[in-house]
């Protein structure tokens, strides 16, 4: 269903605030913040966030397509987004992701870094609240969708937190980790709930699980062949940051993001080219790219390559360039 309702923006502060907040629950945020944490803050924090993020998002996406609760009707609601309009509403995966990422970051760092507990708690609450409110402002979810998403995410965090160390240890040391990290997500993607019409939820879920799978293999490989550790120029969660450290942090980030984006573009072209040859369709054929046998391998291979590059190739490049 295409949203054609016209609207006039009367309060540009709220408009841009909530449009920006909505982006904090989308790929542009995941592909920048999660790698930034790995490159510049703490490997263990990043690992825990990615574990929680992938589990929470998979459960949220599957729940949508099982429950099949519709999004708010437009009109009367004005919808400011187009892409996700084809998805169902309950639960809000933006709310789930924002709650999971902000509070898992807080929980993973509160005992490792010196900063006021209240400040970390408030920051996590403000971040998740802004993303939740953005879903109401943009007309994409009801209040119940948002509350449901945040509560589901909170329950999953409570359940996963006691097992964090055990899961992390197994991912780093188990000889079965690389195999299971690829096979289990692929099985989940190929057996995703079927709908009567195309929805981007399966593709988005494959993207998330693929990125997490590639990163998990990278974590395991780095533990077996230790990657450069962050010592003198790592970000310490406090202020002020000394200028030299800030320069190195920014350099690591921009070099890493450039490599990640190039990897995504290259792998996307290669995988689509191979699949197009195999199934005899032009790579720009959108309908063909939505088929199960195309969408799952295309997105899984592309984003698992992104996850692997971010955790293995980029740190090696940082070391080569002296950004350590």
Active site (catalytic) residues: 94, 141
| Cis peptide bond prior to 75, omega within 30° of 0 | yes
Q: How is the chain split among helix, strand and coil, in percent rounded to 5?
A: 70, 0, 30
- The structure tokens 């191979």 sit at 274
- How far is residue 5 from each of residues 26, 74, 76, 78, 80, measured CA to CA in Å? 23, 7, 10, 7, 9
Q: Which of 184, 244, 214, 186 is nearest to 311 (CA)?
A: 214
The radius of gyration of the chain from alpha carbons, rounded to an integer in Å, stands at 20
Compute the residue count for the chain. 324
| Cis peptide bond prior to 91, omega within 30° of 0 | yes
């Amino acid at each position: 269903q295409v949203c054609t309702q016209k609207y006039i923006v009367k309060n540009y502060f709220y408009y841009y605030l909530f449009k920006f907040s909505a982006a904090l629950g989308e790929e542009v945020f995941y592909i920048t913040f999660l790698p930034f944490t790995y490159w510049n803050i703490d490997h263990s924090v990043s690992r825990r966030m990615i574990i929680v993020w992938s589990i929470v998002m998979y459960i949220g996406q599957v729940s949508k397509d099982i429950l099949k609760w519709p999004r708010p009707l437009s009109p009367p609601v004005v919808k400011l987004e187009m892409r996700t309009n084809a998805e169902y509403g309950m639960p809000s995966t933006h709310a789930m992701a924002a709650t999971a990422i902000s509070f898992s970051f807080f929980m993973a760092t509160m005992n490792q870094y010196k900063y006021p507990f209240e400040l970390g708690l408030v920051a996590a609450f403000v971040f998740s609240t802004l993303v939740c409110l953005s879903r109401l402002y943009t007309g994409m979810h009801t209040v119940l969708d948002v509350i449901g998403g945040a509560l589901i995410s909170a329950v999953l965090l409570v359940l996963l937190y006691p097992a964090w160390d055990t899961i992390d240890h197994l991912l780093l040391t188990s000889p079965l980790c690389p195999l299971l990290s690829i096979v289990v997500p692929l099985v989940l993607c190929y057996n995703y709930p079927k709908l009567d019409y195309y929805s981007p939820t399966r593709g988005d879920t494959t993207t998330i699980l693929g990125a997490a799978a590639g990163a998990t293999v990278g974590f395991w490989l780095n533990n077996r062949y230790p990657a450069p550790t962050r010592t003198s120029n790592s970000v310490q969660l406090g202020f002020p940051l000394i200028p030299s450290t800030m320069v190195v942090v920014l350099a690591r980030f921009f070099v890493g993001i450039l490599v990640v984006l190039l990897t995504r573009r290259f792998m996307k072209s290669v995988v689509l080219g191979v699949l197009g040859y195999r199934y005899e369709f032009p790579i720009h054929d959108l309908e063909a790219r939505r088929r199960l046998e195309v969408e799952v391998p295309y997105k899984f291979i592309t984003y698992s390559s992104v996850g692997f590059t971010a955790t293995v190739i980029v740190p090696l490049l940082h070391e080569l360039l002296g950004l350590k």
